[in-house]
Amino acid sequence: MNRNPVQHDSQNNEVLCSSWLLWIMSLILFAFVVRVRDGLPLSASTDFEHNQELQERKHQLRTISKSLARFPDRGTVKGKQLNIYFVSSEGVSYMSVCHFSLPVAKAFCFLEDLRWDFTACFNSSVVALAARPYPFLEFDSKIQRLKQQYNQSGGPVLEVTLAEVQEDLRLHPPQIINLDEVELANGIANGHLEQGPASGQNQRLEPVTAPGILSLVLNIMCASLNVIRGVHLIEYTFQDDYEGIWNVVAFLLAFVCCAFQCHLYLFHSSLKKLKSFALLSVIVLCNLYLFGFRNVWQLIFHISVASISTFLTLSRKLQDRTNDCGV
């Protein structure tokens, strides 16, 4: 019997439509396995989606992976449409990016199942000896199968597992992670941030420019002049029954602010704009207070150096750098 071509096409369209709906309704979009002590990526699910928020969550996920040793065993990062969940056990952390509509208990059920599968395949000594990123590529397929199972069935096969996780979460709720604090903690020398965005990039401050070097030299000069004048003035202050103590304080405070301006230019910091303007304001006020000890041209010089340093600090942006270990 010949099959009706129209009926055959209709069935094909129905299958394609069902597959499309299944992809759209995926609740678990990405899974990641990392080593806790140093954030080394061990395995990850294959990702073909180019959703902007998913890429942002993957960037945040890598940022968190560098700080897992400071976090409790379970944590959550809330997003607009996508959330991050992680569970750490025996030196390995299991992380996922899930749609916000997925119940929290089911997200942690997925991570527990992922943990059981991983520990069944690799022992702790093998994980500890791993020296390169993604040494367990063969486990990626198992992550994909587990992810597909959850996306199709909507949760674990055994309801008792879900009930146990729900009760455990009620007694020990996961910590809500503040990403601003994590990124600040990950900042290291030369303004380098160990984590990069989801496109496989790291972040680093732009290289120091010639005006930046000049600004640092002038700032160090101003700091030196302030501390020399302040220390020299202390001797006279002791002789005059501390009448000029506030002049000493103004010189030394200006010295400290100049030093912090150099630090702020060289290293990445959160709330950089607020700190920059606060330091500039203190330097301006200290120099205005010292009018009489310094002439107008000296005041203009010190305030100008502080202003230029503030401008260059705010102008030095983060740049992107290719990361060989990105997913």
Same domain, 32 and 135: yes
How many domains in the chain? 2
Same domain, 47 and 170: yes
User: Per the domain annotation, does 28 fall within a domain?
Assistant: yes
Same domain, 267 and 181: no
- Give the residue among 2, 66, 3 at the shortest CA–CA distance from 32: 66
Range of the domain at 300: 210-318
Task: Give the Cα separation of 80 and 99 in Å (integer).
Answer: 9
Same domain, 278 and 179: no
Same domain, 238 and 101: no
User: Per the domain annotation, does 148 fall within a domain?
Assistant: yes
Angle (CA) 241 242 247, round 5°? 150
Same domain, 69 and 215: no
Q: Which residues pair with 94 in a beta bridge?
A: 33, 87
pLDDT, residue 80, reads 82
Count other Cβ atoms within 10 Å, centred on residue 58: 27
User: Per the domain annotation, does 218 fall within a domain?
Assistant: yes
User: Per the domain annotation, does 167 fall within a domain?
Assistant: yes
Coil/strand/helix, residue 201: strand
User: Per the domain annotation, does 190 fall within a domain?
Assistant: no
- CATH number of the domain residue 124 falls in: 3.30.450.50
With beta carbons less than 8 A apart as the criterion, state whether 96 and 86 touch: yes
User: Per the domain annotation, does 296 fall within a domain?
Assistant: yes
User: Per the domain annotation, does 203 fall within a domain?
Assistant: no
Q: Along the 327 residues of the chain, how does pLDDT read in single tens digits?
A: 454 544 545 555 544 444 444 444 578 888 999 999 888 999 988 766 667 888 888 888 888 888 888 888 888 888 888 889 999 989 999 999 988 888 888 889 999 999 999 999 998 889 989 889 889 888 988 898 888 888 887 666 555 577 888 888 888 888 888 776 666 555 543 344 444 433 333 456 778 888 889 988 999 999 898 888 888 887 776 665 566 788 888 888 989 999 998 888 888 777 888 988 999 999 999 989 888 888 889 889 999 999 998 999 888 877 544 444 444
Amino acid residing at 150: Y
Same domain, 14 and 101: yes
